[in-house]
Amino acid sequence: MCHMEKADFSLKARHKKKIWFAAVCILLIFVVLVVQMSYIMVFCSEYYLARADDLHERERSIKASRGRILDANGVVLASNKTVCTISVIHSQIKDPERVIKILCEELGLTDEEVRKRVEKVTSIERIKTNVDRDVGDRIRNYALEGVKVDEDYKRYYPYGSLASKVIGFTGSDNQGIVGLEVKYDSWLSGDSGKILTLTDSRGVELEGMQENRKEPVAGMDVTLSIDYNIQMYAQQLANKALEEKQAKTVSIIVMNPQNGEIMAMVNAPEYDLNNPYELNFEPETVVTGQAYQDLLNGMWRNKCINDTYEPGSTFKMITATAALETGAVTLDSQYYCPGYKIVEDRRIRCARTTGHGAQDFTHTVMNSCNPAFIEWGLRVGVDNYFDYMGKLGILEKTGIDLPGEASTIMHKKENVGQVELATMSFGQSFQITPMQLLRAASAIINGGTLVTPHFAVKASDAEGNNVKIFEYETKENAIKKETSDTMKGILEKVVSEGGGKNAYIEGFSIGGKTATSQKLPRGNGKYISSFIGFAPVDNPQVIAMCIIDEPVGVYYGGTIAAPVVRQLFENILPYMGIEKSVQS
């Protein structure tokens, strides 16, 4: 039993009061703690939970299957095949030596490469992508712990090199790299899904936890205006011309002049889309590194739109149109060609040095007489000439749905004098892309509508429902319909009686214009031969252009390029259902 303390040491009211005071203080502090806890656990809960989930979840993405690319008739031009991605999960590997050995053997990688990745402490490390399905299945059958075989899609092009420079190809992550594949990547690629698994701090997946799965959304199919048959046939013709003329390149564009739908675009030599990193020729010396990459970049170039050239006489179509539109000439205008024309201090020769003699307007076009066109161009004048180049889209990009379109290289208007205007009148001293010229030519023959050349027609989902019909800008009344009709008549004469007669096909009404342009510097003996043709003249359904770069031997456009278009038309006009209309 306790003994009694002296009175002074006994518990007094003031002590009790102090204890209660302290207790109340602690209670108040507890309230503060509860408020802070509630704040974190109620108001910040969502934020912290999301951050924590980020920390705990390992994300494995599931690739969406990439949409296909189809031709106008539904022929598959680009599709997918199943391949495998092999990865390792460091924390799950039980027998690293066996894993390294088997992966080396099956994947054909060096021990060093595989070892580096297997021994790297990461949650998941990719060993190799785009592995054939057979190899993937074999690796899966080893049932190696810590080795994951994920199926995945790889781009596959059933026709190899067909329209390679138009379609383009994809990279290791199935992303578009060049061509339509990159232009329409957002439509084709779809949304990748993901599998989220919970892991502990060492990255070990937790068992019995729900897997969070977000399904991938497949990409859209994109339908092109390209017609497999026309493209195939054009490509054969281009390859044939390439070989016969030992040319550097041969390009053919086939387009519907009424709406700008491109039916074929060939740039021979094409390359194999399934092996885009292999050159389509044997380089003379061993090339590596940047130089090899430069060669590849050159190989992937689409010359119809990525490169410019001096159009030459085909450009006379624009000069003639401008001259007619502005009233500078009429069909009755006469010109006498002595074989040259003097502009200021220059003497500009005609292709026919002896001269064409007296000609009316139509014949100056049929003869492709340079002095006459200098006269017509000078009559139009600089302002009007630039005005009509603008109206016909020569001064701007065409807006085609391919990346990397080149810009016009043109004199500044204020610097254009008589000499410059003279040379421009017959298509020299400036550069445009073949596509720009074909677009201008289409406007001249279709009644005056400037179209946007294009490939993609629509995007549709896996069930075939159209999700998007692509629309393109058109500018009507770039020129008068009467001028267009007049030009069609003149151009028909060029083929039936003039320099383009090698493009003539009995029974069909075909119009066109040839060109033979010297490559710079002048006098180096290198030429570009070209021909633009269209049919039928009354209501043009197809316009085609053939450009032969640096042919060996005969280099006249009318001699070598026009026959290519003729052969093309001989086949595709009946295929397109265009009947013979002219009684022979």
Partner 1 sequence: MQKKRLKKVKYFDYSLLFVIIFLLGFGLVMIYSTSSYNAQIKFNDSEYFFKKQLFAEILGIVCMYAAYKIDYHIWVKYAAFLYVVAMVMIVLVLSPLGYSAYGARRWISIGPLSIQPAEFAKLALIFSCTAAVNKMNQNSRKFAAIFVHLFLGIVLAGMIFVITNNLSSAIIIFGIAVVISFVAYPKYNIYVIVAGLVGALVVAVRSWAQQAQLSDNANFRFERILAWVNPEKFADDTGFQTVQALYAIGSGGLFGKGLGKSLQKLGFIPEAQNDMIFSVICEELGLFGALCVLIVFGLMLWRFVYIATNAPDLTGCLLVVGVFAHIAIQVVLNVAVVTNLIPNTGISLPFISYGGTSVLFLMAEMGIVLNVSSHIRMEI
342 binding partner 1? (CB under 8 A):
no
Query: Tokens 């000069």 correspond to what residue?
Result: 319
Residue 92 corresponds to which tokens in the numbers above?
């799950």
- 2 vs 286, beta carbon nearer partner 1: 2
Angstrom distance (rounded) from CA 316 to CA 324? 12
Q: How far is the CB of 62 from partner 1 (least distance, A)?
A: 24
- 8 vs 332, beta carbon nearer partner 1: 8
Span of 6-14, 150-158, 415-423, 559-567 interacting with partner 1 by CB under 8 A: 6-14
Q: How far is the CB of 403 from partner 1 (least distance, A)?
A: 41
- 52 vs 552, beta carbon nearer partner 1: 52
Angstrom distance (rounded) from CA 369 to CA 348? 11
Span of 14-22, 227-235, 265-273, 425-433 interacting with partner 1 by CB under 8 A: 14-22
Query: Is the distance from CB of 385 to CB of 322 less than 8 angstroms?
Result: yes
7 binding partner 1? (CB under 8 A):
no
Angstrom distance (rounded) from CA 182 to CA 163? 15
- 29 vs 409, beta carbon nearer partner 1: 29
481 binding partner 1? (CB under 8 A):
no
520 binding partner 1? (CB under 8 A):
no
Q: How far is the CB of 100 from partner 1 (least distance, A)?
A: 26
Determine the size of the site formed for partner 1 (CB under 8 A). Answer: 44
Residue 39 corresponds to which tokens in the numbers above?
């704040």
Angstrom distance (rounded) from CA 568 to CA 505? 11
Angstrom distance (rounded) from CA 548 to CA 418? 31
Q: How far is the CB of 20 from partner 1 (least distance, A)?
A: 7
Query: Is the distance from CB of 187 to CB of 70 less than 8 angstroms?
Result: no
Q: What is the DSSP string of 537-558?
A: SSS--EEEEEEEES-SS---HH
Secondary structure element (H or E) that encloses residue 174, with its range: none
Q: How far is the CB of 97 from partner 1 (least distance, A)?
A: 24
Q: How far is the CB of 16 from partner 1 (least distance, A)?
A: 5
Which 3 state secondary structure label does DSSP give 223? strand
41 binding partner 1? (CB under 8 A):
yes
Angstrom distance (rounded) from CA 544 to CA 533? 5
Query: Is the distance from CB of 66 to CB of 80 less than 8 angstroms?
Result: yes
Identified binder of partner 1 from the candidate list 145, 206, 294, 574, rule CB under 8 A: 206
- 49 vs 469, beta carbon nearer partner 1: 49
Task: Indicate which residues carry an active-site annotation.
Answer: 313
Beta bridge partners of 542: 535
Q: How far is the CB of 9 from partner 1 (least distance, A)?
A: 5
Interface positions, 122-141, toward partner 1 (CB under 8 A): none
- 39 vs 336, beta carbon nearer partner 1: 39
Q: What is the DSSP string of 519-542?
A: PTTTTSS-EEEEEEEEE-SSS--E
409 binding partner 1? (CB under 8 A):
no
28 binding partner 1? (CB under 8 A):
no
Contacts within 8 Å (CB) and 24+ apart, 18-25: none
- 205 vs 307, beta carbon nearer partner 1: 205
Q: How far is the CB of 121 from partner 1 (least distance, A)?
A: 14
Which 3 state secondary structure label does DSSP give 193? strand
Please name the residue ranges forming H helices in 368-471.
370-380, 382-391, 418-425, 434-445
Span of 27-35, 218-226, 270-278, 481-489 interacting with partner 1 by CB under 8 A: 27-35
In angstroms, how far is CA 345 from the centroid of its own chain? 45
Identified binder of partner 1 from the candidate list 62, 76, 107, 198, rule CB under 8 A: 198
- 207 vs 345, beta carbon nearer partner 1: 207
143 binding partner 1? (CB under 8 A):
no
Span of 23-31, 134-142, 274-282, 322-330 interacting with partner 1 by CB under 8 A: 23-31
Find, among 331, 465, 487, 470, the residue nearest to 399 by Cα: 470
Q: What is the DSSP string of 224-255?
A: ES--HHHHHHHHHHHHHHHHHTT-SEEEEEEE
Interface positions, 44-103, toward partner 1 (CB under 8 A): 44-45, 47-49, 51-53, 55-56
Q: Which residues lie near partner 1 (CB under 8 A)?
A: 2, 4-5, 8-11, 14-16, 18-23, 26-27, 29-30, 32-34, 36-38, 40-42, 44-45, 47-49, 51-53, 55-56, 198, 200-202, 206
